[in-house]
Chains A and B, each alone.
Chain A
Amino acid sequence: MKNFKMHKLYIAMLATGIGMFSTNTIAVPFIQCPGDNFLSDGVTPGSNGVPEVVDPNVKCLHLSAGDGFATMADGRELYIFSFGDITGSDEANAIDDGIMFANLPAPTIVLEQGQEVYLSLTNVGMVLRPDLSDAHTVHFHGFPNASAIFDGLPDTAISINLGSTMTYYYNLAQPGTFMYHCHVEASEHMQMGMLGNLYVKAAQNKLPDGTNLNGFIHNAGNEYVYNDGDGSTFYDVEYPIQLTGMDPDFHDANETVQPLPFANMKDKYPLINGRGYPDTVIAGPLPAPVKNGGLVTQTQDSNITAVQGQKILLRVSSLSVTRFYSLKSLGLDMQVVGMGAKPLRTAADTANPYTTNTITLGGGEAIDVIIDTTGVAPGKYFLYTSNLNNLSNNTEDFGGMMTEIEITL
């Protein structure tokens, strides 16, 4: 729940900042979403990013971009920049709802192949850095055959100013594991946390019940990583696993308006989905940081559970800003079925996965891994970086980039 008093104080601070450093006044966010004609009361004309006329092939999202705090596994609260999910906020409330609402990781975006996506981004400003009038963008990382205008690179297109809103449009022609992040002053904004999971589910999931896929019978509800045509990428449960890290010195320098240490950047908090172990296995959201006024902003856990016999899909991506990480599964084989939003297939279009216990990713890489738990003894298994000095939460020397896989009968 929001700490109302604290929140209003932040708004006042932000308004001061805007008054000092921007010639713009805060406009009502222009939220573009087909079929959305009314505010949340369903009566007043306006928009809140939720269509009243529902088209299953249209997906509307509304993100805020601003600052906030996130809690590390040793209890320290780091100042961050990131996105928040404010889909459904009225025009009148969107900026209010987005203030200090930076999430870590940024809200997980789950899409479906064939959808048209209208993603509105409202720049709500940095409460603790009123001296910064930074613009923001969304870079849909890996989008095939991209346009420049919706690529989110500030140098080659446009980025949205403080107080304003831009709607990005994506026609989702291909499934796969992607990721998203802000690309404005990328080394800074990404280290500060503007990073999130994004994946597109395959159209093959929606085939009619009983469809024969070259001998593999599709049942309604079955899901696949790709349109494989043979069921080879079938899975029962899926988890996004995003590898990142944070340098507390960089975040502290940013909060206290000091020169930023790019050359000496070192991620002393290696993270999975924005958390260090053991916070990674806390199911559901973490308690709200005190410093952001009590907003719950760390909702993506990495608590992987499956019933023996199920296939687990891990959509592993890295948005590390500093280094390569290797990720190891102890006692469970990982079958790599895709990389870079493409299935591993032979030239003859047959499945061509490989099995391993370790995968390595640099920033901007994604690997789709299936773990088959058939015959696996029930119990707790570990997924962790084999860059072992990264099993730490800053000075706590056990934790960091690790989570658990719980197999039950």
Chain B
Amino acid sequence: MYSLSKVFKRASLIVLFLGCTPGANAAIQGVTGTPDGTGVTFNLTTSTSNIPTPDGNSVRMWGYGVAGSPMQYPGPTLIIDQGTQVTVNLTNTNIPMKVSMLFPGQEGVSATGGTAGQFTQESSSVLGDTVTYTFTAANPGTYTYYSGTQPGLQIEMGLMGAIIVRSGTADQAYNDPSTQYDREYLFVLSEVDPKVHQDVEFGLLPMINNTVSHSTFWFMNGRLGPDTFFPDNSSFLPNQPYGSLAQMHPGERVLIRVVGGGREGHPLHLHGNNINVFARDGRLMSSNGVSADLAVSDYTIQALPGATYDGIWEWTGEQLGWDIYGTNAGGQTHDCNDVAPVDGFDDVTSEYCADHDVEIPVVLPEKQETAFGGFYSGSPFLGALSDLPPGEGGLNLNGGLFFMWHSHNERELTNDDIYPGGMMTMMIIEPHSAVIDPGNP
């Protein structure tokens, strides 16, 4: 029997898990560019590298990178303040074709340098030339960028990334108060057909036939499960710096930014609760241009290729019908204090007070009758740890509740024919006492 946690444990990297490293998965990782007097400049290069896959193989990729740093998959997330004049200098280091960049959703993009291609100016590694793209980041939101040169091949090879344009108000995704958030996570979804990459590696570019594409790897932030759980900037994934493990406390508003980075659609299912999606492609879902009055709540995001989605996800355990923290009699001593404002929830822990001290209504099976997940704490209660048989559990340090977020086309939970893996991560509901991010506890 294959289990995710057993595979994960065999990676023998538990110590890296859950980031005792300060800043691990703290915020969305990315680059903010260099101030240039009128705005910011990003100096990017494109180059080739192989990335490891958890089935024990590796895949040749092309990627964007910050000049002087390794290429990465996906490309560096460009984090920009709304209204900023942006300059991107792109130099092709060693990709054996011309390359370029497109910025869908940005207005007034101009390109100079290099040579003219079908969509935009392109950079050639033979000529060593640099193309300069400029635009003003007029609207806040989540965007993508990708190659405009043979995009069917080059995006497959890895030439894509995300752009986040921050609104003028801190911790607010758009210029609408309903988009306020306490934490944020970015998920760039993509896929790989290894045959294409093998042909590229063997120098067989003319052999590639995009019409027979058959993906067998499905990525989240450029990593395959279970690598998605490891912290940002893990040393053993030098070209895949972005993790996907999400954490939060009950009651927090978590902004989820989703980018369809490849060429397939993926139904991204969020265990645990619905998400309220209020923006698509960097535009508020609004009939009046002001408020997100067309927002929709769903338990699965239909993430289509090239599109982006922003939404708020929340979790409190409301109306479970039992105390998610366990009962005082059961040894989980705690109060539920709902003073001001009176909203039905504890002022500090966001516990749903109507269910306070209500016993879990069923008897759980005896230990010998169940199989245990590695992310199980041994207890059904939030913040509680209980004993497990030797070798079981062990990946849940705070007694958190783990919810899987994954492609619900479940074939995509595999790595080139090997289950489990693929497009999956976890959201961990951590007890209030657990420090998630020292900079943003």
Q: Within the complex, which residue of B271, B299, B318, B319 is in contact with A151, where a contact is CB–CB below 8 Å?
A: B271
Q: Please, which residues of chain A bring their CB within 8 A of the CB of B266?
A: 362
Q: Within the complex, which residue of A155, A261, A364 is in contact with B375, where a contact is CB–CB below 8 Å?
A: A155
| CB closest residue in chain A, given B292 | A347
Q: Are A148 and B380 in contact (CB under 8 A)?
A: yes
| CB closest residue in chain A, given B413 | A187
Q: Please, which residues of chain B bring their CB within 8 A of the CB of A263?
A: 214, 216, 414, 416-417
Asked if B368 is at the interface of the complex by the 8 Å CB criterion, the answer is yes
Q: Are B321 and A148 in contact (CB under 8 A)?
A: no
Q: Please, which residues of chain A bring their CB within 8 A of the CB of B318?
A: 145, 173
Q: Are B371 and A146 in contact (CB under 8 A)?
A: no
| CB closest residue in chain A, given B373 | A155
**A146, A156, A365: which has the most chain B beta carbons within 10 Å?**
A156
Q: Are A24 and B410 in contact (CB under 8 A)?
A: no
- A171-B363 Cα distance, complex, nearest whole Å: 16
Asked if A216 is at the interface of the complex by the 8 Å CB criterion, the answer is no
Q: Are A157 and B362 in contact (CB under 8 A)?
A: no
User: Assuming the A-B contacts A142-B274, A321-B409, A363-B409, are A148 and B297 also in contact, with contact meaning beta carbons closer than 8 angstroms in the complex?
Assistant: no
Asked if A87 is at the interface of the complex by the 8 Å CB criterion, the answer is no
Q: Please, which residues of chain B bring their CB within 8 A of the CB of A188?
A: 419
The A contact surface, by secondary structure, is loop
Q: Are A159 and B403 in contact (CB under 8 A)?
A: no
Q: Please report the total number of B residues contacting A with Cβ < 8 Å.
A: 69
Q: Are B373 and A365 in contact (CB under 8 A)?
A: no
Asked if A10 is at the interface of the complex by the 8 Å CB criterion, the answer is no
Asked if A334 is at the interface of the complex by the 8 Å CB criterion, the answer is no
Q: Are A164 and B267 in contact (CB under 8 A)?
A: no
Q: Are B361 and A262 in contact (CB under 8 A)?
A: no
The B contact surface, by secondary structure, is loop
Asked if B82 is at the interface of the complex by the 8 Å CB criterion, the answer is no
Q: Are B320 and A171 in contact (CB under 8 A)?
A: yes
**B291, B365, B375, B403: which has the most chain A beta carbons within 10 Å?**
B365
Nearest CB of A to B275, in Å: 9
| CB closest residue in chain B, given A165 | B365
User: Assuming the A-B contacts A118-B362, A169-B360, A365-B300, are A322 and B409 also in contact, with contact meaning beta carbons closer than 8 angstroms in the complex?
Assistant: yes
Q: Please, which residues of chain B bring their CB within 8 A of the CB of A108?
A: none
Chain A interface size range: 35 or more
Q: Please, which residues of chain B bring their CB within 8 A of the CB of A341?
A: 274, 299
Bitwise, B355-398 to A at CB < 8 A (1) or not (0) is 00000111111101111111110001000000000000000000
- A185-B302 Cα distance, complex, nearest whole Å: 23
Q: Are B419 and A342 in contact (CB under 8 A)?
A: no
Q: Which positions 385-441 of chain B face chain A at CB distance < 8 Å? A: 401-404, 407-411, 413-414, 416-420, 426
Q: Within the complex, which residue of A153, A156, A187, A365 is in contact with B267, where a contact is CB–CB below 8 Å?
A: A365
- A186-B404 Cα distance, complex, nearest whole Å: 12
Q: Please, which residues of chain A bring their CB within 8 A of the CB of B417?
A: 261-264
Q: Are B380 and A187 in contact (CB under 8 A)?
A: no
- A341-B320 Cα distance, complex, nearest whole Å: 17
Q: Given A148-B403, A156-B376, 6 other A-B contacts at CB below 8 A? A: A118-B362, A155-B373, A156-B402, A167-B362, A362-B409, A363-B267
Listed A/B pairs (29) with beta-carbon separation below 8 Å: A27-B369, A118-B362, A135-B370, A145-B317, A146-B272, A147-B380, A148-B376, A149-B360, A154-B371, A159-B370, A165-B365, A166-B365, A166-B369, A168-B362, A169-B321, A171-B321, A184-B371, A186-B420, A187-B413, A262-B411, A263-B214, A322-B411, A340-B296, A362-B266, A362-B300, A362-B408, A364-B269, A365-B298, A365-B302
